[in-house]
A and B are shown apart, each in its own frame.
Chain A
Amino acid sequence: MDTLEILFYALSAFAIVSAIMVLVSKNPIHSVLWLILVFFAISGHYIILNAQFLAIVNIIVYAGAIMVLFLFVIMLMNVQSDKEPQKKLLIKFIGVLSGGSLLILLIALVKQTAQLEGKQVLMKEGTIGLIHPLGKALFNDYVLPFEISSVLFLSAMVGAVIIGKK
């Protein structure tokens, strides 16, 4: 197996383990930290797919800003791990079961789809993940959504401020 495959499997395993740890941790701060590790793993995936821009943006925005925000809120809530109530065992079981069956179902579906047979993902090469083509496409074809997203941010900011006011 060449490095690419090893990298792929390693990153995947790492991501899955971290995700499970997110679920399982009692302490919410630990959950946040494990989630940051997941984001790093996914950024690693982006890099081997040569989507460099997205990898960096993922780290900066998600792991950097959003998770930090979560951490702030958790620390503000003063959530204690020993006082947090747990859901009933039955509910947990049903939850795991339904999630699991969703997974199995979707996997089964995908396995039979004939159109996906033999398609290969281009790794390590390809220019579309680089900043230059991405920027060109963004500002030529998708400039309107781009501008509207700035309005979206504005409204989110205003909303957050208003909701947060006493």
Chain B
Amino acid sequence: MKVIIGLIVLWPLVGFLFNGLGRNIWSKKTIAYKATGYVLASFILSIIAFLNVQAQGAITVHYFDFINTDTLKIPFDFKVDALSSLFLLVITGVGTLIHLYSTAYMKDEEAPHYARYFAYLNLFIFSMLLLVLGDNYVIMFIGWEGVGLCSYLLIGYWFTNATYNYAAKKAFVMNRIGDLGFLLAIFWLIAKLGSVSYGHVLTAESLAKLSTTDITAITLFLFIGAMGKSAQIPLYTWLPDAMAGPTPVSALIHAATMVTAGIYMITRSNILFSASEFTQHVVAIVGISTALLAATIAIKQNDIKKVLAYSTVSQLGYMFLGLGVGAYSGAVFHVITHAFFKALLFLGAGSVIHAMHHEQDIRKMGGLKSKLPITHITFLIGCIAIAGVPPFSGFFSKDEILAAAFAKSPIYWALGVVGAAMTAFYMFRLYATTFLGKFRGTDEQAHHLHESPFAMTLPLILLALASAIAGAIGIPALMGGHHWLSHQLTPIVGETKEVALSHSIEWALMGASVSIAVIALFIAVNRYKRQADGEPNTALGKFLYNKWYVDELYNNAIVQPLNKFAGFLKETIEKNIIDGAVNGTGKIVQYSARKIRLIQNGQVGYYILFIVLGIILLFLFWFNDITINRFFNNLIK
């Protein structure tokens, strides 16, 4: 088992090295096969691992001692239990499909760049696997940093464009801010408990050792880390800008895997979070606010990828809402279903973009239904899933979260339903504008419209299937199902608190949310199937179109003052003071050397004078107490 787990992680690393080091050697075909093959191998091994966990329960695999001192031991262990094996499946599975898709999508790149792309992608999978498999927070942090790095590398993949580089930097810096929170949490844990292993930290005894302030502080810091990685308010603005990267990257990193790292972390630490009411409130409020904020922005966006980006932010908000109200398995469920349908939507968007020759503005699309049939059907399935319409998977996961939210407070539920309605609205706005109606682009684009190659459509089909039927793993007891997922996660998150709602209320809630979503859906389709949005002409429209001016706010409040401060430091302190001191030392040495050199004037008389003076000084030093004191005493006497 140890070997298998190790191989799961190592195959993508080998792929990274293979493609990275050999990028000038291999042909595109070799690169494509190898990269995809490695991830596929990891997927197969993940299935084996998953079945093993089903049969034998959770295991911890020890490889070597990473840090081994008297006071702190951090071993390099992997923990394979239901939670991590599920995530393994999702990561490697969706990852394989996206690799396959990328082989066709990135076909136009040169071979070295092609290899670079796949090397980064494999490195990303490796880091994500580390994150998910680690048995302690430090290993998780290594993976955490790794995925942040790969995100930067991949967003800035087309590095010749300055805007893209800026977006990559923005992503990395915002991630870093979150990472600081994560690090502080780790330090706090080490200070209080002396260990970061899950086995030591996430137990009842450890909980007893920590005071309430400790727990609240640690969980808040962990949440800050999650905020950066999973794009919650206020650290979410990087994600829409990250759409500068290639579309498969957006699909993999910013829909299915990296952004879910925060949820994984919080689910793993659920004991800590459940012990802190305050943090749970914070998490829930931040989650629902993000969900609503992003949904409102998405309504007015015209770039196909930006809509999906804001949709991701919004759905992540839902997941955090779920975490905040204690529905851990619900959040994980939503992670899994979201991975499927969001990846599907992104890949579908990529297919559209590919067909439209890199045009991304939906106002120039329309009527693609007939030209791109497979893409159309799969995209539609994705939209229905995300809108939460039964029987597709989105309905089950979202509903579980909403039910738990209602149990906590009806306000959460109401806001959640509003958000769900907006989700349905903007998704179907997107669908209708893109696929229905008449084509609004140029004639030249119309000529080039064609369905994507098999390598791209196969993943679409598989993901559509997954989005459709994945709901089966979490059918609630209400509907006569046996919630397989929450049973799986019970060892980790504890018994799901049986939602103390009567069945009738639950049915009512479900019905309400579904009907509102369906109504919004039809309104959107009706409105947009004939024409696209014009320029926003109301104040509200402008406000939403400009993303609530948050980026501008950040720029003025934070970035500009920092730049000015850095400039001040550079000019005044660096140049004048520090350089002045360093150069001044050199100048002083030179000056004194010039002056002292004149002693060597070649005149013997001077030399002898100095000899005599030296002798006098020597005598004074050797016999100082004798000479001075006693002599002068004698003289006085």
Contact = CB atoms under 8 A, between A and B. Distances in A.
Chain A directly contacts chain B within the complex, with at least one CB pair under 8 Å: yes
A7 B45 CA distance: 118
A74 B286 CA distance: 106
Interface string B513-547: 00000000000000000000000000000000000
A9 to B, nearest CB: 22
Contact of B627 (A87, A94, A102, A109): A109
B616 A101 contact: yes
A102 B634 CA distance: 18
Contacts of B616: 98, 101-102, 105
Q: Is the interface of B mostly helix, strand, loop or mixed?
A: helix
Contacts of B615: 102
A87 B630 CA distance: 37
Nearest to B615: A102
Contact of A109 (B612, B613, B619): B619
A99 B623 CA distance: 19
Contact of B609 (A95, A106, A109, A112): A95
Interface in A52-94: 87, 91, 94
The 10 closest A-B pairs by CB, nearest first: A108-B631, A98-B612, A112-B630, A108-B627, A112-B626, A105-B619, A102-B616, A98-B613, A101-B616, A105-B616
B72 interface: no
A99 B627 CA distance: 17
A119 interface: no
Nearest to A107: B631
A166 interface: no
A87 B605 contact: yes
A67 to B, nearest CB: 22
A91 B612 contact: no
Nearest to A108: B631
B620 interface: yes
A111 interface: yes
B609 A111 contact: no
A13 B631 CA distance: 25
Contacts of B609: 94-95, 98
Interface of A: 87, 91, 94-95, 98-99, 101-102, 105-106, 108-109, 111-112
Nearest to B610: A98
Contacts of B605: 87, 91
B620 A105 contact: yes
Contacts of B620: 105
Nearest to B613: A98
A109 B623 contact: yes
A34 B227 CA distance: 102
Interface in B602-637: 605, 609, 612-613, 615-616, 619-620, 623, 626-627, 630-631, 634
Contacts of A98: 609, 612-613, 616
A19 B609 CA distance: 20
B613 to A, nearest CB: 6
A131 to B, nearest CB: 37
Contacts of B619: 105-106, 109
B631 A112 contact: yes
Contacts of A109: 619, 623, 626-627
Interface of B: 605, 609, 612-613, 615-616, 619-620, 623, 626-627, 630-631, 634
A58 B493 CA distance: 113
A98 B620 CA distance: 13
Contacts of B631: 108, 111-112
A105 B613 contact: no
A115 to B, nearest CB: 13
Contacts of A105: 616, 619-620, 627
Nearest to A95: B609
A69 to B, nearest CB: 21
A112 B627 contact: yes
Contacts of A99: 612
Nearest to B627: A108
Contacts of A91: 605
A95 to B, nearest CB: 7
Contacts of A101: 616
Contacts of B630: 108, 112
A91 to B, nearest CB: 7
A123 B497 CA distance: 121
B263 to A, nearest CB: 86
Contacts of B623: 109
Nearest to B608: A95
Given A102-B616, A106-B619, A109-B627, 8 more contacts: A94-B609, A98-B612, A101-B616, A102-B615, A108-B631, A112-B627, A112-B630, A112-B634
Nearest to A102: B616
A53 B630 CA distance: 40
Nearest to A94: B609
Contacts of A95: 609
A117 to B, nearest CB: 13
A111 B626 CA distance: 10
B306 to A, nearest CB: 87
Contacts of B634: 111-112
A123 to B, nearest CB: 27
A92 to B, nearest CB: 10
B241 to A, nearest CB: 78
The CB with the most chain B CB atoms within 10 A, among A87, A94, A95, A112, is that of A112
A39 B446 CA distance: 125
9 contacts: A98-B612, A102-B615, A102-B616, A105-B619, A105-B620, A108-B627, A108-B630, A109-B626, A112-B631
B621 to A, nearest CB: 11
A159 to B, nearest CB: 20
Contact of B612 (A87, A102, A108, A112): A102
A120 to B, nearest CB: 21
Contacts of B626: 109, 112
Nearest to B632: A108
A99 B612 CA distance: 7
B494 to A, nearest CB: 91
B630 to A, nearest CB: 5
A91 B623 CA distance: 28
